Every structure is written in C-alpha cells, then in structure tokens.
A and B are shown apart, each in its own frame.
Chain A
C-alpha cells in the first residue's frame, strides 16, 4: 500500500475518481453517454500529443514543434488523398514518414550542434508551419474518404468511439518503452545526467535522435487523428497543442530538467485536464476560464511536485544522519 502511495499516478487517480463523482452528483449530465463520448474523444487526441511531448521531456529537452509537425502531417495526409487521390494506406504511411523526418531533423540538429532544443524546435516550428501555410495557402482540404470519416465518427459500442483504439495502443507501447526496454531506461538516464550516461557508454546521438523521431511520429499520428475527428484537414491543426502538451506530463509529475516521466500519470493528467475543461462547459463557465484554469493547474502541479521533493529530501537527510 505504501508503495502504491508513492506512485505519481495514485494521487491523480484519486482526484479523478472523487472529482468525477462530485461533478456527476451536481450535474448528472456529466455521465450522459453523449458527454462521455465527447470526453473520450478529447482525451484520446490529447493523449497522443502529450506522449509526443513527454518523451522529449524524458531526455530533458522540449519540443515546441509538436503542433507544427501535427499540422504539416494533417494537411499532407488530406492533401495527398484529395489532390493526388491517393488511397488511405499510402497516405497514412507518407504522413508517418513526414513525422519521422521532421523528428529526425529536430534530433539530428540538436545533438550535432549542441544548441538547446528549445531554439532548434522554435526554428523548425516556423519552418514546418511555414511549409504548411505555403502549401495550403491557408485553405483547408475538405474531400476526405468515407472510411476516414467513419473512423472519426463511429462508435464501437455504447459511447466508446473507434478513435480511442490507437491512443490506447500508443499509451501501452509507451509504457512498455519507458519501463521495460533498455532504450527507454537509457533515455531517462540521459535526461537525468548527460555526462554520466555517456560515461557508462550510452550514445547520446542515438538517444536524442530516437526520442525526437518517436516524438515526430506521435505528433504525426495526432495530426491524422484530428483529421479523422474534424472530417477535414485545416492548416491550423496543432496550433493550440503547446500548452496542453506540457500541462499533462507536468501534472503527471514529470520533471522538466529530464530523467523522470510517468506514462500512466501523464495519461491521468490528460484525463484530468479534459474532465475539468468539460466540467467548466457543463457548469456554463466562460470558455476563457478554461485557459486560466489550465494555467493555474500547471502552477499547482509544479508546487505539489516541489513540496514532495522537499519532503523526500528531508526524509533522506534523516536517514543519512542515522
């Protein structure tokens, strides 16, 4: 039990359960099938985006271009199908390839020049977004194959949409990567301490490029899922991803300096943010409050993490005195 209490996701899980019960007591509409459906859709889209940022946070960097990659892939994916009447599978593959290449560019330049990933991804953010606007001239693509539309709209049973399948698979894969594979452990080691990870023989080139490539792939998947959801490919897909992409991992206890991320807690962070946004809508609170709230949530999460670290430090100090 005490082991459970120490997990990052445990406290979040309790907050989620009690919060949902409280909201549904006040507003039974909260657990109506339609509301659950909307909730699951928003959770599944943000889940992929949050994971895309989380893996970069794990190595102690940040990726500002997540949204720009998502947007570029989204319009390429729809553009290939509409303008070049390509079938779905090759369009998806090319979309993934673009995400991979974008991620590779980020990782390669960052690790080879040693310039902070913040500046590199700020530059590539503008490059990818500029390509997106240059190609589309800010016009959306409307012609989407029926199968894609179906995938974005249909429900498996009850309120559960098809769209949740891919994010759930990704979350499971990410958990395995971070907790059960040497690559994931190496990433955390690298994020924790670059020098000592290099001293024990971890190739920083490999780790940074892998992390950015995975981030690019996830951003690409996120972009294509949004296309399925919206039923069209607009150039502004991804514009609003930056804040939530950091919010969920940070609420989930990730340390921005790197070396500590928790996949389950990040997923719970996504759900928490979605539930709160949804609740604010149900209670008919001004949508701009959602934004303020998200800001305060990040600050609160940061305070809580700091406090826990502080307590842990004190505890270890007591032990060392004995």
Chain B
C-alpha cells in the first residue's frame, strides 16, 4: 500500500519544498513588496551566500564533526583576497585561485589537527576560529580593503534575467550540482560518505578514513573561502567584521541549512539539495520577518524558534516513518 506514494514524498526535501512554497504564498499575500523586483534580487544575493555557507558546514557534518571556524576562515580568506588585489595588484582570476587554495589550506589545518589528535573537531575548530580571526585582525590591523578592482565589484552588483537574479546565486546553484555529482557518482565522493557513515567498516574495506576526513575539512575550507569571496563581491569591499565577531554571524545559517535539509549530525549522510532548500527557507523567513515588521531585535528569537521547531519536526517525521515501515 505504501508503494503508491512515491519515495520523494517521504523525504524531508519534499516537506521543505512545501514549506518554502507555503512561506512564499504567505509573504506575497501579507506583505507589500515581497515579490518586487528589488526584493527578489536582494533575496537572491543573500540566499547565494547562505547556500554556500550551509554547504561548507554540510561537508564537515558528513564526518560527524563540526566546523566552528567557518566564519573566521571565510573572512580570513576574503581579507587575504582583498590584500592580494589591493596591495599586491594581483589579477582577479589568480587572486581567486589563491584565495581558494588558502581556504583549503586553513581547512587542511583543521582536518589535520582533528585527525592526528583524535579530539572532536568542535574543540579543534573552536581553537582555530580564535587563532585565524586573531591573526587576521592583527595582520590587517582591523582595516578594510575598499579599493578593489572595478571588474570584481561590478560582478557582485550585476543583475541577470530581467534584473531579477544575482550571478552569485548561479555560482551557488552550480556548486550544488557539482557537489551532488561528486557525492553521487564519483569514487572519491562515495568514499567520503562511507568514511563518515561507518569509519570502522570503511577502514576495513581499504579506505583511508583519516585522509577522507582531511579532504572533508579541506572542502569545507574551500567552500567557506568561496563564500568569503562572494560576500566581498557583494559588499564591494573586504571588511574584517563582515561576518561579525569571530565570524559568528555565519554560524546560525551554517547549521540551519544542513540541519533543516536533513543532514544527520552523527555523520554519514549528505543532502545537497536539502541544504539548498534549507538555506532558501531560512532566507525567506528572515526576509519575511523584516517585511512583516516584527522588529529587527526579535528576528533572532524567531530564527531560534524555527530551528528548534525544524529539528523537532524532523524527529517526529523519523519516528513516524520508522513506525510505518515496521507496520508494513
């Protein structure tokens, strides 16, 4: 009997999709300007970044770990990029490659220390968060890089598709597809998932779990650096405080998107498009709350409630699917 319902309906991506549509309906009827060209463009710029941050966290959650240093790492990489372009006069394309390499390197440090000490990545990245952010502030003397090449900042304010969509969103969506392909169809992607799902079994079947975990952290650093560049292009300057103190402003969206998307915190499961939908939902709600005028100080409160509600719902869904499968 259960076979009549397609599998997709049972996943929480489907639930998320419904929620996204419901919220879009609510906000477009209850507020003015939600569907305006300006608002949709602004949304696309924000959502692009949230997706990227969510993906950066997702690939570390895959290992059963966390990356608290995400924001600090992203901002450090972005500041490095600002320095390359403004002070060193390095061309944009080379700068971007350097920044991504730098981000991967910082991610490698996280991964290497985590694997070698066997300590939970929470404590390692708590320490590196403070170290990266501290060094970045010291080296830049908390000064921003504001004289970036015009070609770079213009890209951040470019408007595509009848001026509705920012090119940043296209980068994020493309990244989603690439990651989906890697995790679904490539050898290395399957190995990463296997290492996260059951490290002992993976080790026994000849996968170097340590190396896979380091790769995950490097990938996280890479994506965080990419998010850093995108934020720099969006603002038009590289500012040390653009992700808040110690990069904390990135932390909530970073966890919200993958957790809403159904990524298991214990590791071994990734949902690339779930993370994307999760990021879209968070951005929608955030934007809608401002438009409804709940007051900017309460937005945080509601985001916390939503995160709590989402994990509770997910738990309930799991409970019922398990019960159903036992019955059938």
Contact = CB atoms under 8 A, between A and B. Distances in A.
B123 A133 contact: no
A120 B122 contact: no
Given A122-B255, A130-B301, A302-B117, A288 B126 contact: no
A295 B129 contact: yes
A129 B304 CA distance: 9
Contacts of A75: none
Nearest 6 pairs of A and B residues by beta carbon:
A130-B301, A126-B304, A292-B134, A295-B130, A130-B300, A127-B304
A298 B121 CA distance: 12
B204 interface: no
A289 to B, nearest CB: 7
A45 B123 CA distance: 22
Contacts of A129: 300-301, 304
Contacts of A118: 66, 122, 265
Most buried by A among B123, B137, B295: B123
Contacts of A131: 301
A130 B303 contact: yes
Most buried by B among A118, A242, A289, A292: A292
Contacts of B129: 243, 295
Given A119-B265, A123-B311, A250-B123, A296 B131 contact: yes
Given A288-B137, A295-B134, A122 B307 contact: yes
Contact of B304 (A125, A246, A291): A125
Contact of B135 (A109, A292, A302, A303): A292
Interface string B284-328: 000000000001011111111101100110010000000000000
B259 interface: yes
Nearest to B304: A126
Interface in A84-141: 109, 113-116, 118-120, 122-131, 133-134, 136-138
B252 interface: yes
B159 to A, nearest CB: 32
A286 B135 CA distance: 11
B252 A291 contact: no
Given A119-B307, A119-B311, A130 B299 contact: yes
A134 B295 contact: yes
A292 B113 CA distance: 16
A115 B122 contact: no
Most buried by B among A114, A122, A125, A303: A122
Interface of B: 66, 113, 117-120, 122-124, 126-131, 133-135, 137-138, 245-246, 251-252, 255, 259, 265, 295, 297-305, 307-308, 311-312, 315
16 contacts: A113-B312, A118-B66, A119-B255, A122-B251, A124-B304, A124-B308, A127-B304, A130-B300, A133-B301, A240-B245, A243-B126, A243-B129, A288-B134, A295-B126, A295-B127, A298-B130
Given A130-B297, A292-B138, A306-B119, A299 B304 contact: no
Nearest to A290: B134
A257 B123 contact: no
Given A119-B259, A119-B265, A123-B307, A302 B123 contact: yes
B122 A256 contact: yes
Most buried by B among A118, A137, A291: A291
A239 to B, nearest CB: 7
A62 interface: yes
A256 B124 CA distance: 11
A294 interface: yes
A134 B299 CA distance: 9
A256 B138 CA distance: 30
Contacts of B66: 118
Given A295-B134, A298-B126, A302-B123, A115 B315 contact: yes
A253 to B, nearest CB: 13
Contact of A113 (B255, B295, B311): B311
Given A291-B133, A306-B117, A299 B301 contact: no
